[in-house]
Every structure is written in C-alpha cells, then in structure tokens.
C-alpha cells in the first residue's frame, strides 16, 4: 500500500516534501518545517533536494523534491511514530525495487536486448558520476587530514584548482549574497550566526599596537576544514549543473 507517493524525477526515486510533511502530521506549517530541516541537517540543493518555483494564480509557490535518502533522514529525525512508519516504508520500497530489478527476467529476445541496453546505460551513468565526483572525493580526503583553516582568498584559489572559475572578490560577493557573510553594518564580511553554527568559519582575533599606544583589535574570518569541504562540494555541484560564473 502506498502511504507516501514515490515518483521518478530525473531518473531517481523522489518524494515531495509536502507529502512527507503531511504524513508526519507536523504541527509546524510546511514552509517553516522544510526550511528548518534543510538548515539544521545541512541538506544540499541538487543533491538531497531540488527546489521548484511556480506561479499559482498570482502567488509564487515552492515545491521541494526530496531524494529517498533525504526523506528517510527527515522521517527519522521527526522523532515520532509517524516518522518511524515513514522511514520503514521508504526502506521497504527501496528493497522491493532492488529485488524486482534483480528478478527481472526477459521473456523474449527483444526484451533481452532491451534489458541489456538499459543495464549498459545504467553502468555508463554510474561511471560518469564516479568520474565527476572524483575531484570532490580527493579534495575531501585532503582537507579531512588537515585541521588548518584558511582565508577566504585561499579558498578561492582552491576552488580554481578544482575547476571553478571564481576569484576572491566574487567569492566574497557570493558569500554575502547567500547569507554566509554579513552584508551590512559593523559586521560587514564577518560570518553570519548561521554560518558559525554550521561550523563553516572561525574568527581570528589580532591585536595591533598603534603609535599612540592604543590597541586595535581586528577580526579575520577563516574557513574551517569542514567549511572548505562544504563550499568545494557546493561549488562543484553548481559548476556541473550549469557551468555558472557565480556573478
């Protein structure tokens, strides 16, 4: 019995976040619920979910399409019986899909050819994905072995080395635009509270002795090892999807 609709989206099994929210019987309204979950559990757009915007009448609507893995995670962290039921349902559906593909036996010669072609196509897609993900995996391994933070300018150089065409100034603009750095006031170019809570930045305090004997304290944001992995993965995903110039 289908308790939450699972659909094909870009060749992958997916779930509408709105359907999951409805089944979980959350007391939060949908928009608050999904935004909180994305931020709190670090869900990645175009990996864990895809956001669709559309007009309904004169009002913009947002639809979030979740991967099955993301849907299982959100069901699990809901912490109630409905969440447990949803997670078990997704696991059951995945197992059934896997078993049905294993047991698929062609009945005719044309079906055998078609099945062989489909399997060859799936293998080719998987190989392309592994090749595309290789730079990210290598980078993550390199950063994971180092506990050093880096300046934002150094992060821009790392991104360039991984095929992302972006410089220090444009990276600062992007970080402000996407609410990782503050864009106004005395905290301009300092990490936002959200970015600090995610562990993406740390603040280096430096004391400078001025000629008049006073001391000037400066604050420099540095990207943590976790932040370096987070941003390289995010930019590589954007780069692979639309070759954006990040302006």
> Would residue 119 count as lying in a domain?
no
212: which DSSP letter?
T
Q: Are residues 225 and 174 both part of a single domain?
A: yes
pLDDT at residue 164 greater than cutoff 80: yes
Are 80 and 26 contacting, i.e. CB atoms less than 8 angstroms apart?
no
Q: Are residues 95 and 184 both part of a single domain?
A: no
Q: Are residues 86 and 174 both part of a single domain?
A: no
pLDDT at 146: 47
Q: Are residues 150 and 232 both part of a single domain?
A: yes
> Would residue 114 count as lying in a domain?
no
pLDDT at 52: 84
> Would residue 112 count as lying in a domain?
no
In this prediction the pTM is 0.42
58: which DSSP letter?
T
> Would residue 111 count as lying in a domain?
no
Which band of pLDDT confidence, cut at 50, 70 and 90, is reported for residue 20?
A: very high
Residue pLDDT, tens place only, 26-79: 999 999 999 999 999 899 988 899 988 877 777 778 889 999 999 999 999 998
**Domain with 64 in it:** 6-100
- Out of 81, 100, 119, a domain closes at 100
- Out of 100, 126, 153, a domain closes at 100
- Out of 67, 100, 133, a domain closes at 100
Residue pLDDT, tens place only, 175-216: 999 999 999 888 899 999 999 999 999 988 887 776 777 777
Q: Are residues 78 and 170 both part of a single domain?
A: no
Structural domains counted in the chain = 2
Rounded alpha-carbon distances, angstroms, from residue 122 to 12, 18, 199, 204, 235 = 12, 30, 37, 48, 26
Q: Are residues 153 and 203 both part of a single domain?
A: yes
Q: Are residues 29 and 90 both part of a single domain?
A: yes
């Amino acid at each position: 019995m289908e308790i939450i609709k699972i659909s094909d989206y870009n060749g992958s099994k997916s779930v509408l976040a709105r359907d999951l929210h409805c089944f979980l019987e959350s007391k939060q309204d949908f928009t608050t619920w999904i935004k909180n979950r994305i931020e709190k559990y670090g869900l990645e757009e175009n990996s864990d979910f895809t956001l669709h915007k559309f007009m309904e009448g004169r009002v913009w609507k947002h639809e979030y399409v979740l991967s099955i893995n993301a849907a299982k995670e959100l069901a699990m962290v809901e912490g109630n019986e409905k969440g447990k039921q949803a997670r078990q349902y997704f696991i059951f559906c995945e197992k059934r899909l896997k078993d049905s593909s294993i047991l698929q036996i062609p009945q005719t010669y044309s079906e055998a050819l078609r099945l062989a072609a489909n399997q060859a196509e799936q293998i080719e897609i998987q190989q392309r994905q592994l090749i595309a993900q290789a730079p990210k995996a290598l980078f993550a391994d390199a950063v994971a072995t180092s506990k050093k933070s880096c300046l934002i300018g150094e992060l821009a150089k790392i991104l360039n080395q991984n095929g992302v065409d972006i410089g220090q100034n444009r990276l600062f603009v992007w970080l402000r635009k996407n609410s990782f750095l503050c864009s106004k006031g005395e905290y301009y170019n300092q990490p936002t509270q959200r970015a600090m809570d995610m562990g993406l930045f740390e603040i280096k305090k430096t004391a400078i002795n001025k000629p008049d004997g006073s001391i000037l304290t400066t604050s420099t944001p540095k990207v943590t090892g976790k932040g370096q992995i987070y941003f390289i993965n995010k930019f590589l995903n954007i780069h692979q999807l639309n070759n954006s110039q990040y302006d």
